[in-house]
Amino acid sequence: MKPILAVILVSGLLSACATPATIGVSGGDQAKGTVVLSYDIGLMQSPKVDWKQGLQKAAAKCQGWGYASALPAGKPSKACKTKTQGGDCIGWTISETFQCTAPAAQSSAQ
């Protein structure tokens, strides 16, 4: 009976760690037409990332700069954000760069 209880307890703890990740604009370069989006995760977290929402945020930023839209430009990167006193990483920032697409069509004034 105890092994079953332990399995249920561990399953409950692991499922509680699956949390939605909040993606935000963390950088970019208007001249190069790049937008960087990122989110933070901690030890034992298994984030649910909505990259469709991220793409919408990147596209909105690009459109604000006069570009048409945005596309992912590579794979996400992972950087240590929080370390223990012993130097072990317990928190990370996950970032992905998006490339703005062609400048939006300009209407010609006549």
Q: In the block, which residue shows the tokens 């649910």?
A: 48
State pLDDT tens for residues 11-32: 444 445 567 888 999 999 999 9
Q: pLDDT tens across 58-81, in order?
A: 999 999 999 999 999 989 999 999
Can you spell out the DSSP letters for 67-108?
BS-EEE-S--EEEEEEE-TTS-EEEEEEEEEEEE-SBPPPPP
Terminal Cα-to-Cα distance of the chain (whole angstroms): 82
Is pTM beyond 0.75? Reply is no
